[in-house]
Amino acid sequence: MASILITGCAGFIGSHLTERLLLEGHRVIGLDNFDPFYARGHKQRNLTGFRHHPFFTFVEADLRHGFETLLDSGSPEPIEVVVHLAAKAGVGPSVKEPIAYLENNIIGTTRLLQWMRQRKIQKLFFASSSSVYGNTRQQPFQEDMNVLAHGISPYAVSKLTGEQLTATYHHLYGLDVLNARFFTVYGPRQRPDLAIHKFARLMQAGQPVPVFGDGTTARDYTYVDDTVDGIVRSIAYLLQHTHVCEVVNLGNNRPVPLLALIQAVGEALGCQPELEFLPMQAGDVNVTYADISKAHRLLGYAPKTTLAQGLAEFVQWLETEPKLYEPASPVG
């Protein structure tokens, strides 16, 4: 069993991953700064299932400053793998607050990489994003595509820069790194600002659902358990291999148009959604569509959850959750 650091452990994906790794017998050091993008209580609830697990250590710290001493004092044994999920999230908000996104996602990542170098930690999983593909016309998206000309939001730029930083540390210091591009992850504990969660809350309240554009934009929705399985497989790959510097897509390979998604959420909730058509949002992309053949070849990654199954699990969770979480305004 390995000793693993997870940054962003209290978030949506991070909390699911922490549970999975603890269940498998790994020791987990979790770091989170409770970024105020949405209510702190939401993340605190995410931690409840494992907060007092004997193999879990929690450190509240910000990667931009002061985390090094706290992490060093909180680690009971040497860390073998770092899973870097922590980031300021959201495409739209990054257009309004670009400096905050670049500071958090680029400076924070650089400081983490420097800390890893100083502590001689050689294995890194970095959570990137499908947003790096922008509005490229080639579909499905393949990892070897030239994405430098397609960044259309500060968030996308910050994630692509993170990939380039990890590749640089691989070149300079031999860091073994796997950069994984996530594709619209959903499921229980999903952030309240994301489409499925937001749409479901609006339908529950009898309010109209905003449709940005004509409803034909599409996303490659990936259920959280499938994404977590991809991360766990990536950790195993990193532990078993050296001289690694790879980029993989962790998606579902099945884009769903916006109007079809809204209808599917309505069916899962047992209601008929009311629609409100609005202009496209700045920084948004038309389609995300993952080619997952490389992830399957390297990792054995094979998502299993259908949209209907995933939405049923999400709705079951949602019905037990307090209805008081709204996304806060991004802060610098």
**Least confident window among 82-86, 144-148, 198-202:** 144-148
Report whether 102 contacts 26 (CB < 8 A): no
Q: Look at residue 323 in the predicted model and tell me its pLDDT.
A: 61
Per-residue pLDDT tens over the stretch 32-86: 999 988 889 989 999 999 999 999 999 999 999 889 888 887 666 799 999 999 9
Q: Is 1 helix (H, G, I), strand (E, B) or coil?
A: coil
Domains (ranges, CATH) in the chain? 3-184+224-250+291-303 (3.40.50.720)
Count Cα atoms within 13 angstroms, Cβ side, for 233.
Answer: 19
Owner of token pair 């959570």: 127
> Residues of the chain with pLDDT > 70: what percent?
96
Q: Could you say which of 38, 101, 133, 155 is catalytic? A: 155
Report whether 235 contacts 298 (CB < 8 A): no
- The pTM assigned to this predicted structure is 0.94
Q: Is 155 noted as a catalytic residue in this protein?
A: yes
Contacts of 256 (CB under 8 A, 6+ apart): 218, 219, 220, 221, 264, 307
The string of DSSP letters for 35-84 reads -TTB-HHHHHHHHTTTTT-TTEEEEE-BTTBBHHHHHHHH-SS---EEEE
Q: Look at residue 328 in the predicted model and tell me its pLDDT.
A: 38
285 vs 130, residue with greater confidence: 130
Report whether 330 contacts 93 (CB < 8 A): yes
